[in-house]
């Protein structure tokens, strides 16, 4: 699912300079979510006794599950966006009516702890100035918000198809399962590699391998818990 954003990122998104609808972390997170859901459901098929009907049922279930969760995730993104935007507008009103020192304290208290630890007087003052430039609006959703929500929905749903495709093109269910699992591990590695590069890791191949191992462990855990 989409992770929470910091105030600085929301303020940047509300400024005149437009950024990408979804950052790399959001995109990879949605793909991983859809991928793990699909692999878990398809992996529940017993290759020893599965026929075309069972495989087809599993694929339809995986797609249906990701359609539902993609929709839920998209709606929750919109809810979170409205909430954060309205919160920033409320903070801006308080900052406008406060002295600089009081405004700085208001901003510092509103920041997540890990962001506040990295924000000095210069950064906080920059946030104060940006808050002062925010227009007096009701925080209503915009066109790009709905586009981002639609992008989230597509990422979750589309993550189903790479792991389901082997069952469509291969008649041997056991072989299709092995290929599907191989595709899933490759996608997990690619996702970790992208996150590693985005984070500035010196060896993103290590983060890719770690993500592949973590994904396999998560899938096994979900299946063990009856998911």
pLDDT of residue 10: 47
139-144: average pLDDT: 82
**pLDDT above 90: percentage of residues in the chain:** 10
Which residues make Cβ contacts (< 8 Å) with residue 23, sequence separation at least 6? none
CA distance 108 to 127: 10
CA distance 117 to 27: 27
Q: What is the pLDDT of residues 193-227, one digit of tens each?
A: 998 988 888 899 999 999 889 888 877 776 676 54
Residue position matching structure tokens 């082997």? 166
The C-alpha torsion from 204 through 206 and 209 to 211, rounded to 10°, is: -70
Q: What is the pLDDT of residues 161-171, one digit of tens each?
A: 888 888 888 87
Q: Closest Cα partner for 124 from 100, 108, 102?
A: 108
- pTM higher than 0.75 for the full model? no
pLDDT of residue 100: 85
Q: What is the pLDDT of residues 74-90, one digit of tens each?
A: 999 999 888 888 888 88
Helix ranges restricted to H, the chain: 7-14, 24-42, 52-96, 100-110, 113-116, 121-133, 143-158, 160-169, 173-199, 204-224
CA distance 120 to 110: 14
What is the average pLDDT value for the chain, to the nearest integer?
79
7-16: average pLDDT: 48
Q: What is the pLDDT of residues 49-78, one digit of tens each?
A: 556 667 777 778 888 888 998 999 899 999
CA distance 197 to 135: 36
Q: What is the pLDDT of residues 174-187, one digit of tens each?
A: 788 888 888 888 99
């Amino acid at each position: 699912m989409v992770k929470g954003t910091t105030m600085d990122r929301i303020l940047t998104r509300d400024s005149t300079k437009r950024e990408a609808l979804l950052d790399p972390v959001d995109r990879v997170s949605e793909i991983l979510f859809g991928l793990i859901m699909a692999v878990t459901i398809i992996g529940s098929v017993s290759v020893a006794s599965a026929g075309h009907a069972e495989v087809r049922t599993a694929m339809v279930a995986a797609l249906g599950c990701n359609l539902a969760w993609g929709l839920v995730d998209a709606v929750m993104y919109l809810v979170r966006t409205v909430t954060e935007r309205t919160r920033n507008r409320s903070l801006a009103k308080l900052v406008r009516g406060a002295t600089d020192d009081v405004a700085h304290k208001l901003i510092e208290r509103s920041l997540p702890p890990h962001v506040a630890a990295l924000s000095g007087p210069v950064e906080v003052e920059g946030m104060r100035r940006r808050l002062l430039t925010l227009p007096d609006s009701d925080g209503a959703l915009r066109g790009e918000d709905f586009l981002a929500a639609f992008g989230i929905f597509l990422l979750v749903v589309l993550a189903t198809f790479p792991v389901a495709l082997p069952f469509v093109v291969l008649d041997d269910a056991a072989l299709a399962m092995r290929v599907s699992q191989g595709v899933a591990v490759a996608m997990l590695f690619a996702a970790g590699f992208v996150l590693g590069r985005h984070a500035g890791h010196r060896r993103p191949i290590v983060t890719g391998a770690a993500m592949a191992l973590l994904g396999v462990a998560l899938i096994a855990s979900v299946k063990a818990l009856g998911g």
